[in-house]
Structure 1
Amino acid sequence: MVRIYQHTLSPLKKWLFFRAGCCRFNPTCSQYAIEALQGHGAFRGGWLALRRILRCHPWGHSGYDPVPSIK
């Protein structure tokens, strides 16, 4: 599902909103979700991805925000 978003809606968003359509984090939110799901599984990875998306707002931080390592 994330891959479908990356290949269809994400490029459209960048085209419509120019630079404002770019993710404020590195890695991007969709790439973060993929890494979180692959590394932590559906439940914890989904929770990490949701928390990341909720942090993405104009008043939030930006920059490098990697997926936490597996404990």
Structure 2
Amino acid sequence: MLALLTIRAYQKTLSFDHGLPRRLFPNGYCRFHPTCSEYGYRAIDRHGLLRGGALTLWRILRCNPWSKGGLDELV
């Protein structure tokens, strides 16, 4: 699926937690576990593009400086 390939490409190149910029943040950047991109990958893989995409969007909207973050497993 193209969406999953796009997420993996993002993770390997631009992601502050998985890609080359990781060197700038050795302790990680994302407030949540799993990271937002990994959550999105799992959500789309498990629930399909529409429902998984909606879950991913909701997760990204919750990932902000005012969020405490934490463990957020996919249901």
What TM bracket, shorter-length normalisation?
A: 0.7 to 0.9
The gaps in structure 2 that reach 5 residues or longer are 1-5
Identical residues among aligned pairs (%): 52
**Aligned alpha-carbon RMSD (Å):** 1.6
Which structure: greater helix fraction? 1
- TM-score norm. by structure 2 comes to 0.79
Quote the Cα distance in structure 2 between the aligned partners of 1:49 and 1:20: 23
The gaps in structure 1 that reach 5 residues or longer are none
State the number of aligned residues.
67
What are the equivalent positions in structure 2 for 1:39-58 lying under 5 Å apart? Answer: 39-58=46-65
The reply to whether residue 12 of structure 1 matches residue 20 of structure 2 is yes
Output the amino acid matched with 2:9.
I
- Equivalent residue number for residue 70 of structure 2: 63
Larger relative contact order (Cα-Cα within 8 Å, sequence gap ≥ 6): 1
Quote the Cα distance in structure 2 between the aligned partners of 1:25 and 1:46: 18
Counterpart selection for 1:35 from 24, 42, 66: 42
Quote the Cα distance in structure 1 between the aligned partners of 2:59 and 2:68: 11
- TM-score norm. by structure 1 comes to 0.83
Segments of 4+ in structure 1 off by > 4 A?
A: none
Cα-to-partner distance string for 1:7-66 (whole Å, 9 max, x where unaligned): 0001233334x2586111000101100110011111000000000000000101211001
Quote the Cα distance in structure 2 between the aligned partners of 1:60 and 1:19: 21
